[in-house]
Amino acid sequence: MFQEHWEGQLTSSSDKGRIAPHVNSLVKLLQSHLSHHRFPEATPILETLALATDRVPGIVWRGGREVLLHSGDYSHALQLYRSFFKVQQWRIETLLETSFFTASHGHLDEAYDCLSSQLQVNPFRSHPLCHGYCGLYQFLLHRQHQTSTTTRIKTELRGIHPIAVTAQEEAAEDSTPHITLALKHLQTVQTIDAQLPDGTGNLDLFVKLLAELLEEQGKIEEALACLVRYCHGHPLRLNPTRSHL
């Protein structure tokens, strides 16, 4: 009876004030569903609890998320992530984790879109990790494109295919948008980093990716300047970035 009552009210309980007095009951109902692997029933409760962010610790949705991920239902878990982001748009970690989950299932384009769609608004606009991971996803798409194209060209060459050289030229051109976007985001990371105090965050990965892409484009001096500028800006941090100098 209790369970039927609450599950009938979940879709209309969008007001935080109405949810707050019943958080403990909802948590118990959530635990019951999760312990019995009733993942579809758990999802709307998790979404509703997200509205009570001042009373529900991160462990509630993080724990529920982990169980949902183990259900093997990608679309179901992604729906949960998106629902949380709708009611917690101020949480950068929620946005990042949504993109991580999407990328971990091989959907790099969707992971990029998830982040880039929020870069016009604060606090995401000036957050280095949001730009950094946008750059990383485009970098990986570029590498993915290179790998698939190389395999195709090798196959064509083995058959002495006349369009092999043309295919290689097309591949370089097709990957240009990924390189352009990756450079844009990674250079933004370095611009933001220059305005942050040392120790604010570890952005080594993104700086190394930027240098690697610049070197790949034949811009050796620019790549070196990028690494030197970053190391000078973080003199107290010993990191692998220095080994690239």
Structure tokens at 53: 């962010």
Q: Tell me: the pLDDT tens digits for 229-238?
A: 888 877 665 5
Q: Tell me: the pLDDT tens digits for 153-169?
A: 555 555 555 555 455 55
Q: Which amino acid is at 100?
A: F
Measured distance CA(221)–CA(200) in Å, rounded = 27
Place of tokens 């750059």: 135
Q: Specify the pLDDT at position 61.
A: 65
pLDDT at residue 8 tops 60: no
- Interhelix angle 92-104/128-158, nearest 10 degrees: 10
Of 72, 71, 68, 70, residue with least CA distance to 82: 68
Confidence of residue 208 (pLDDT cuts 50, 70, 90): very high
Show Cβ contacts of residue 143 under 8 Å, excluding neighbours closer than 6 positions: none
pTM here is: 0.71
